[in-house]
A and B are shown apart, each in its own frame.
Chain A
Amino acid sequence: MIDFTQDLTITLPIPASSRQVAQQFAQAQPTPEKAAQVYRNTLAVLLMRDYLQMLDIPTHLEASYSWNPIARLCADVADLEITGLGRLECRAIQMSDRSCSVPPEVWQDRIGYVVVQLDEAGRAGTLMGFVPTVTTATLPLTQLQSIDALLVHLHQPAPAVVQLSQWFQQIFAPQWQAIATWLDNRDTNYAMAFRAKRVKGVTLDTPEAVRGLVEQLYTSQAESDLPTALSATNLSVIPALTQLLETTQDEEIRWTAAELLWTLDPDHPAAGVRRITDLGIQLAGHAIALMVAILPKPNQKVAVLLRVYPMAGQAYLPPDLQLVGLDTSGNAFLTTQARRKDDYIQLKFTADLGERFSVRIALEPASIVENFVV
């Protein structure tokens, strides 16, 4: 048996062609400090490229920020795009360094960080090791995992990430079903209960009830500006709702309006996108479903609603079931918990386009995590 676990570093020569490219990139920089930074970043990226080439791991330099003249001028970037995987950041250090600085502009959007020690003459570089994520601006070399661990890391399938922005273009993974499709596969009683037209505890069985709720939404706004048409005829309930969706600053009102619209006209374009997935019975045998709804907002922002429902004929969620929103560092930014007789629990927040978050649904000690990018 071959022992792969020992800590090893790989030293590679730096060919003249690499030094020429680095010099060329460096010369385009306005200050000597910036030029030195770009020089080292370029060498580190090229060295990593050379090594990955040796191991038949395809890379795409031209798709890397470090290969974009604007990007390397405006940010301290040393990323190398690994085809199909993402950006591997290659941070250069000097021979005497015992730690590696990781600038804030590369804290996100990376599949890992490799530390490359360059010799004084820029003739050779050593791959010191790697870490999958960074949590501090300074990375002590003692925390590095071996290059062998990097290879294993590159072969691990990335956790599935649900691309919410694609939902706006009607692109969905098969497990995220439209509510109607999903209900078609459920037993009739359950579907009936789910479909019951109840919003905010109001049963929407008459046009008056609907209008009453819409008016209530409008008047609960800070500056009530009820369209005069609304009081005149029922037909304008939906335009009133879409106007409310576009103008309200209040998240509660926004989502109640959206929910009304789902009930009255589920396919209306202003109702955003809503999908549901079956999470199975991984939580101590309790079958539950996760619904995610998104609504576009101004300034590249998206309103997100997460809701957990009971399944398998259950009317209520198991008490103490938790729904937690996690940021990219794994910190909870929102938490809610089912009480006795909750028919669903939910979280609402606003995210920026491109922002990542995860959802943890837990009935201790069991939990399920789903990853999303807006």
Chain B
Amino acid sequence: MTHPILDPTSRMDEFDQQLRQLVIAACGQPRGSLERQRALNQLIWQIQRSGKLLRGVGVPDYEDALQQTWLYCCRNLCEALTGNAYDPEIASVITWLNAYLKRRLSDRQREVLQQQAERAFGQISETGELLNPIDQIPAPASPPPILEEIREWVEREGAQLRRVHVRDRPDINCQVLILRRLPPETPWETLSQELGVAIATLSNFYQRECFPRLLKFGQSQGYLDS
């Protein structure tokens, strides 16, 4: 006979009990309320910390399946919004989520087998490591057209843009700042030293005068959002 204190299930029970309490706390409050959000935040953290969710390092699209699972958890824990609502009488939260995650992973695997498509992301190096995707962004062959369009606009509207400047400093005007901050941009520190004006003064002026004009230009060119 095992001594109750050494029983590994007793710790487990304590954890499940904690989660159950959080589920009650979350579901006792309406959707979108602060108290529901705080309880969900705590619940998600507790689940993560326990490390009890299925792991899938290197499993294709594991991240997508996991994020779907988190959303499923938050959407169906208290109300049946996208699936059946969670029933604490049937399973623990962890069991419920792992069952869903497993289904998503096998769905994905089927899709991958079907497509066998070459993926642009998360390629595996010869040593089997995930490559850093930032290193894989292809270098653009030429400056993007948008940059050229801004430069042309700044030239075209030069007189207008030069008229707007930092008080008593006509040399620090919209035209100069927009051009200096186009990538490859001059760091704010360098501009501050060069012009003898505090960074906050420059960046405030940029935010107030230059940025809105740039956005307005973008809007006129049809660059609304991607």
Residues of B contacting A26 in the complex (Cβ-Cβ under 8 angstroms): 134, 137
A56–B74 Cα distance when bound, in Å, is 9
Q: Is the CB of A73 within 8 A of B183?
A: yes
Knowing A16-B63, A30-B147, A148-B42, say if A121 contacts B131 (CB, 8 Å).
yes
Which of B3-11, B88-96, B211-219 touches A? Answer: B211-219
Q: Is the CB of B122 within 8 A of A123?
A: yes
Residues of B contacting A31 in the complex (Cβ-Cβ under 8 angstroms): 183-184
Knowing A23-B121, A31-B184, A148-B41, say if A54 contacts B200 (CB, 8 Å).
no
Knowing A19-B121, A74-B181, A109-B207, say if A2 contacts B21 (CB, 8 Å).
yes
Q: Is the CB of B144 within 8 A of A29?
A: yes
Knowing A32-B137, A73-B147, A354-B208, say if A67 contacts B44 (CB, 8 Å).
no
Interface secondary structure of B, over-half rule: helix
Which chain B residues numbered 159 to 196 have a C-beta less than 8 Å away from chain A? 164, 178, 181-185, 188
Which chain B residues numbered 63 to 110 have a C-beta less than 8 Å away from chain A? 63-64, 66-67, 70-71, 73-74
Which chain B residues numbered 119 to 169 have a C-beta less than 8 Å away from chain A? 119-122, 130-134, 137-140, 143-144, 146-147, 150, 164
Question: Does A155 sit within 8 A of B, measured CB to CB?
Answer: yes
Q: Is the CB of A2 within 8 A of B39?
A: yes
Q: Is the CB of A35 within 8 A of B137?
A: yes
- From A25, A30, A54, A71, B74 is in contact (CB under 8 Å) with A54
Which of A100-108, A165-173, A289-297 touches B? Answer: A100-108
- With both chains docked as a complex, state the minimum distance between the C-beta of B203 and any C-beta of chain A, in angstroms: 3
Q: Is the CB of B181 within 8 A of A8?
A: no
Q: Is the CB of A8 within 8 A of B211?
A: no
Knowing A2-B22, A151-B37, say if A108 contacts B63 (CB, 8 Å).
no
Q: Is the CB of A16 within 8 A of B61?
A: yes
Residues of A contacting B133 in the complex (Cβ-Cβ under 8 angstroms): 19, 23, 39, 121-122
Question: Does A232 sit within 8 A of B, measured CB to CB?
Answer: no
Q: Is the CB of B38 within 8 A of A15?
A: no
Q: Is the CB of A68 within 8 A of B225?
A: yes
- From A13, A148, A355, B208 is in contact (CB under 8 Å) with A355
A30–B200 Cα distance when bound, in Å, is 26
Q: Is the CB of B150 within 8 A of A56?
A: no
Task: List residues of chain A with CB under 8 Å of any chain B CB.
Answer: 2, 4, 8-17, 19-21, 23-36, 39-40, 50, 53-57, 61-62, 65, 67-71, 73-75, 103-105, 107-109, 120-124, 137, 147-148, 151-152, 155, 299, 352-355
Q: Known pairs A26-B134, A33-B183, A121-B130. 20 more at Cβ < 8 A? A: A10-B48, A17-B64, A29-B144, A30-B147, A32-B137, A39-B134, A50-B70, A54-B74, A57-B37, A65-B215, A67-B226, A74-B178, A74-B211, A74-B214, A75-B181, A75-B206, A104-B188, A122-B122, A124-B63, A147-B41
